[in-house]
Amino acid sequence: MGGIKARREVLFLAALFPTLIALSMARVTLVPGGRLEDGSSLISSDGSFKLGFFAPGKSKFRYLGIWYSQISDQTVVWVANRDSPLRENTGVLSIPTNGSLFLSDSKGIIYWSTPMTRLAGPVAKLLDNANFVVAGGRRWIRLAEL
């Protein structure tokens, strides 16, 4: 009996391994000087949510948003540039040392931004509850909330 139980545990871990590897390699924060380019994403530490670029349906426009990462039908819960879509897949989300976030294209045109935060050592992070925050020191500012 012990052999069957051990084989089941090994099969379970083998099936779970690719997910664990993907989560361990996922990027969870954006630091000053860092960039999140179209095609890459941030993922919450528990793997529930993703922040990145997407095009709804057959649209040619690109948006920065947050969606459930473990649901096959993309369910978007927040969009940064709803009123200013990117026309190409050249979007970049960046964070300078002042803690502001800027969504721009390859030409430097800004499509969305946040106010300057003046946080010490700002870091943008997607939380497990889908909130997107900029934190620094002992303070944080919520940018998106589910």
What is the radius of gyration, based on Cα positions, of the chain?
18
Residue 133 within a domain: yes
Question: d(Cα 54, Cα 80) in Å, to the nearest integer?
Answer: 11
Residue 76 within a domain: yes
Half-sphere exposure of 47 (CA within 13 A, CB side): 11
Question: Exposed, middle or buried by CB within 10 Å (0-12, 13-18, 19+), for 1?
Answer: exposed
Residue 82 within a domain: yes
The boundaries of the domain holding residue 82 are: 27-144
pTM (2 d.p.): 0.76
Question: Is residue 128 within 8 Å of 44, Cβ to Cβ?
Answer: yes
- Please state, as a whole number, how many other Cβ atoms lie within 10 Å of the Cβ of residue 77: 13
pLDDT bin (cut points 50, 70, 90) of residue 122 is confident
Residue 13 within a domain: no
Residue 96 within a domain: yes
Q: Tens of pLDDT along 66-112?
A: 999 998 888 999 999 999 999 999 999 999 888 889 999 999 999 99
Q: Token pair for residue 38?
A: 């179209």
CATH no. for residue 45? Answer: 2.90.10.10
**Dihedral sign from CA coordinates of 72, 76, 81, 87:** positive
* Position 17 pLDDT exceeds 60: no
Question: Is residue 105 within 8 Å of 90, Cβ to Cβ?
Answer: yes
Q: Is 141 helix (H, G, I), strand (E, B) or coil?
A: strand
Domain count within the chain: 1
Residue 11 within a domain: no
